[in-house]
Structure formats: C-alpha cells, structure tokens
Amino acid sequence: MRAVVYSRAGDPSVLSTVEREPGEPGAGEVRVRIVVSGVNPTDWKSRSGATGQGLAFPEIVPNQDGAGVVDAVGDGVADLAVGDRVWLFLAQHQRPTGTAQELTVVPASRVVRLPDGTSYDVGASLGVPAVTAHRALTVREGGPARLSPGALEGVTVLVAGGAGAVGHAAIQLARWAGATVITTISSREKAALATAAGAHHTIDYTQPGTVDAIRAIAPDGVDIVVEVAPAVNADLDLDVIANHGTIAVYANNGGDRVSFDVRKQFALNVRYQGLLLYTLSCEALQAATEDITAALEDGALRVGEDAGLPLVRFPLEQAATAHAAVESGVVGKVLIDVTTT
C-alpha cells in the first residue's frame, strides 16, 4: 500500500511516499481504508518538531483525522463491521501511523460511524476541529455538558477567528445548539465565510471599536469565548465577558504568555479553561463524538465554500504540499485524497 512517512523532524520535505505492508488489527482495533485524510496544524507542528518533543517512533505516518471504510476488525470489536463508513480522530496519537496512507489500524474507540448521506470530506474535516469546538462549548460554569438543539438557548458565544477550522466547527455547533453566535474576523472575505457557517454577527477586529461592537450585540457580555489567541485578546476578552463567563482557550496563536487584569477577572467570576484534545478524558471524547454524530444527522455540520469552509485538495503524493499549505495559513480545510470509493 502507499503511505506517506517521515523519520526525522523538519520542514515538509521530510515527507515521502513509500510502499508499506498494511498492518493487521489486534484486539479492540479496526483497519480502515482511508478515502480522505484531513490535515491540521497539529500535524505539521508534530512533523516539524515545533512541539519540542522528539520523534516517538523511528518512522511516522502523519495526520490525526480521516474518513473511509472499515476493512477489517480485530477480536472483541462488536460495534463496527467491515464495510462501515466511518470517520477517525486521534488516529496517530501515541501511535506511529496516522491517516496519510491507504490502510491504517486504529483503536475502535477512535472510529465513529458516518451517518447516511454524510460525505467523506465532512468526515475527514471533523476530528481535531469538531471535538475541540465541542469541548470549548461545554466547559461553561453551569453547563451544558452536552450539546443538542436548544442546549445553548439564551447563551451568547464569541468565536475568535471564525474563518478557521475550529472556529468554523464552533460556529456550526453553537448555532445548532441554539446560541447567538458572534465571531471576529479580519476581512470581508472571512466575514462571508463565517456568515455562511452560521454566525449571526461578524466583527472585523482590525478596525477600531471591536469591544463596543460586541457590547452592542451583547450588552450583558458574552457567555463563552472560544479563544484561539489568548495573549493577543486577553484585554478584549475581559472587556466583553459576562459575569460567570468562560474563556475556553485551545491554541496559543500570537504568543505563549497571557497578561490580564486579575481583579477584573475574579470580580466577574471568569473561568479561564484550557483544553487540549490529546489530554481529554475518554468520557469527554465520547460525549463529543455522540453529539457530533447527532449534529451530522441533523445536517448541521457541513464543509465547502458555501458552508464557510473552502476545501483545498491534494493527492496523496503531494502530502508535503498539503502540509505546507496548512503551515502557511491557507484559508479553508486541507484534505488529501487517498483512495477512491
């Protein structure tokens, strides 16, 4: 089978396409024929060594997310069968092989059925972005701990960077759950994408008056901030957060250190909640995949330019170019076409 591999950290040129024997699923594992592999910032950061950790295995197949068809099942797997259409998350977490290959073996717990009518493109775009977004929307004081239609009724959500993949998923999930959704963007083009995703309000943060614009929409403040750049937005977040609001931080774009007015923070009972997909509990991951599945069944999670997330595609042999596109900050979701259905 064809597989993309790297054996040392570095720029995208360390990736190469090779022939490898497919793995066999052990107990509690399944093998999936990957149709589409999704590329996320976490994938290039791991490959480049930007995480500060060395390679955990002599050879690695990158990419955490993907979608395809179950090809074989190991002993003890009762909920999945050969031929099931599925999406994968954390495929390469603590394992040497991710989704940038024709066949990959993963724990059955990281494989989720795709509802009828849901495309492989959507499936490969879930994983890191959708699970992260779900967690950000369910850590608020007083809940809800689960998402469903009406679960966020009366709640105002501010999504920082609504044109990104996590921002896009957060907009869609929050809108599906009944929230009022505000997002900050940096251009008219990105505003159009966030609106297509379902945001009620878009605000250009490069222009003066961002706080006033948010407060005009939410006079009592926003209840949840889905934050991608906490260092840059620390003052803004405290200026717009509601009493007992939550600032859910999932990335460190723009800086690693946060400075804020401590008195204002505790006076408003503000919760700063960090979140990282790789260290979530099994219970949180299961809740996310179940709720994401329900949203898929309702048609609430879509991709493509008309849904606010343009797709940028590459063949498997151009995986290095796909990684470079994500690393350069291309707008949209980068997908790798691996096999045909």
| Residue-wise DSSP of 178-211 | T-EEEEEESSHHHHHHHHHHT-SEEEETTSS-HH
Cβ(267)–Cβ(109) under 8 Å?
no
- Domain identity same for 9 and 107: yes
Share of the chain above pLDDT 70, in %: 100
Element (H, E) at 132: helix 127-136
Whether 304 maps to a domain, the answer reads no
- pLDDT, tens digit (0-9, with 9 covering 90-100), for 174-225: 999 999 999 999 999 999 999 999 999 999 999 999 999 999 999 999 999 9
Q: How far apart are CA 244 and CA 223, in angstroms?
A: 7
Please indicate, yes or no, whether residues 63 and 155 belong to a single structural domain of this protein.
no
pLDDT for position 53: 74
CATH code of residue 202 = 3.90.180.10
**340: pLDDT strictly greater than 90:** no
Confidence (pLDDT) at 3: 98
The verdict on 80 and 143 lying in the same domain is no
Burial string for 36-66 (b: 16+ CB within 10 Å, else e) reads bbbbbbbbbebbbeeeeeeeeeeebbbbbbb
d(CA 172, CA 87): 18
Residue 100 has pLDDT above 80, yes or no: yes
What is the model's pLDDT at position 50? Answer: 78
Q: Do 233 and 168 fall within a single domain? A: yes
**58 lies in the same domain as 195:** no
Residue 51 has pLDDT above 80, yes or no: no
Residue where a domain stops, chosen among 278, 294, 325: 278
Q: 188: domain range?
A: 130-278
Q: How many domains does the chain have?
A: 2
Residue 32's identity, in one-letter code, is: V
- Domain annotation covers residue 187: yes
Report the pLDDT value the prediction gives residue 215, as an integer from 0 to 100: 98
| CA-closest candidate to residue 133, choices 168, 182, 93, 89 | 168
Instruction: Please indicate, yes or no, if residue 87 is contained in any of the structural domains.
Output: yes
Q: Are residues 112 and 146 in the same domain?
A: no
73 with 203, same domain?
A: no
Instruction: Determine the 3-state secondary structure of 244 from DSSP.
Output: strand
Share of residues in the chain with pLDDT > 90 (%):
96
| Residue 227 counted as domain residue | yes
